[in-house]
Structure 1
């Protein structure tokens, strides 16, 4: 990891040499957008990585939030996602340009780095056969109750950054007794325990014993994955 100029923002280097902030703020199509939270996170907390998608319906709202934060676009890492209706020659570029316009940026996108989401090892192997560029990122649900370690290890071996989403297990992790106990022990929030479990941020470290305890929590989620290689349909 290194730190972005002028800010203590840890980053991870991608295979193309660009550096993605290690901690991002997500939005979703399930009520995952709060204008005031986005502005506060960017303006006051130093968040420089925002994740969204056209399907979530908030790209234009993010444009307003970014403008209100007064942070230069060049200092932000913005991720958006292509849905199947945007697949295919010509359609993909048009969809990316439309997202750029909605977000008020010149690129996201067009396209400095590319990634995939919810790809298993089999999908990534198939993609290697069909495409010239290996994805820079694979974004997959990741938290103490869903730990696809084999996939994590595979991505690392291939130079693909494994990016975890839903680190709080959609909020349900915040009420788990094991996590609450550790939050009290470290004088922090349950959310910080979950995030600290997965990445090296915040001003405290979890002991090896506590990491083992969190790693032992039973996986209780069905991993969201592609059922077939969608790109072959277009």
Structure 2
């Protein structure tokens, strides 16, 4: 039994693999091969988004992987700029068409605000409207589960005011050096599974001496330690890579981190992402 065989169960009974392949910044032209490579290695959880502009390639990779569709868990995300019911309905159908799939396992609202106003204005009504579209697509069987991404507690509470379905997932930035413990605890207390994107901190964590030292004690690489850390938090880990060697290495995380080292990683503050420091990257800022 390896991490690639382990799953969590969402609040609606749907199972989701604990380790997935993130496809952020993977070009559409190479996405299909990256997905096929990952599935051949044993990955069963593939994550994309409308904003990544690679849904077509990801869908092709899923369809041509040689593995039955029902054995794969495929996620995508509604563009953060869509805060309107009709546009959300059309975009959900658009993802299904672009990917060439009959259903999507998980669809998320990518952010509570458009990227060019991230953590800015009040889009409460628009998020409730987009959520209604997700609920209807879920009821229709187009989406097996639904959720959100980058949502804070207040954003989740806003959805709650009119929701008939509590989000099954909240996908957020979680890594050693950036652990939103209160948000994780709040979501877990409500049965909302946290997915950790960028668990290797956009690669900048590779240079951190304390993290290097902890990884050396376990005889693992820094990426392996960081991925294991997010798993120990009870989250789905979504490292991004198109490199099959990295995919294999990222799956070799069948070890446990001591409580002392978990606490050291949990309290670490490391949010300098080098060239990726301008967050969110889609804001144009």
Question: Against the structure 1 CA distance between its residues 171 and 219, is the aligned structure 2 distance closer, same or farther, given a 3 Å change threshold?
Answer: closer
Please give the per-residue CA displacement for 1:47-77, whole angstroms capped at 9, x wherever unaligned.
Answer: 1111111221101111232244212221111
Alignment partner of 1:210 out of 257, 261, 275? 261
Q: Corresponding residue for 1:73?
A: 69
Helix, strand or coil for the counterpart of 1:12?
Answer: strand
* 1:124 correspondence with 2:156: yes
Q: Corresponding residue for 2:59?
A: 63
TM-superposed CA distance for 1:188, in Å, is 1.6
Helix, strand or coil for the counterpart of 2:268?
Answer: coil
Instruction: Give structure 1 regions of 4+ aligned residues with deviation exceeding 4 angstroms.
Output: 31-34, 84-87
CA distance in 2, matches of 1:26, 1:77: 12
Question: Against the structure 1 CA distance between its residues 121 and 184, is the aligned structure 2 distance closer, same or farther, given a 3 Å change threshold?
Answer: same
CA distance in 2, matches of 1:92, 1:152: 27
Please give the per-residue CA displacement for 1:134-179, whole angstroms capped at 9, x wherever unaligned.
Answer: 1110111001111111111110111111111110001111221122
Q: In angstroms, what is the RMSD of aligned CA positions?
A: 2.5
Alignment partner of 2:40 out of 38, 43, 49? 43
Question: Against the structure 1 CA distance between its residues 78 and 84, is the aligned structure 2 distance closer, same or farther, given a 3 Å change threshold?
Answer: same
Q: In structure 1, list runs of 5 or more residues that go unmatched.
A: 226-234
User: TM-score normalised to the size of structure 2?
Assistant: 0.69
Question: Against the structure 1 CA distance between its residues 123 and 87, is the aligned structure 2 distance closer, same or farther, given a 3 Å change threshold?
Answer: closer
Q: Relative contact order (C-alpha < 8 Å, sep 6+): which is higher? A: 2
CA distance in 2, matches of 1:88, 1:99: 16
CA distance in 1, matches of 2:209, 2:270: 16
TM-superposed CA distance for 1:87, in Å, is 4.3
* 1:172 correspondence with 2:172: no
TM-superposed CA distance for 1:8, in Å, is 5.5
CA distance in 1, matches of 2:35, 2:214: 28
Judge conservation of contact 1:142–1:167 (CA < 8 Å) in 2. Answer: yes
User: TM-score normalised to the size of structure 1?
Assistant: 0.83
Q: In structure 2, list runs of 5 or more residues that go unmatched.
A: 108-141, 233-250, 281-285
Alignment partner of 2:227 out of 174, 177, 195? 195
* 1:220 correspondence with 2:257: no
Please give the per-residue CA displacement for 1:62-103, whole angstroms capped at 9, x wherever unaligned.
Answer: 123224421222111111111145443343232122211221
Q: Corresponding residue for 2:137?
A: none
How many pairs are equivalent?
A: 218
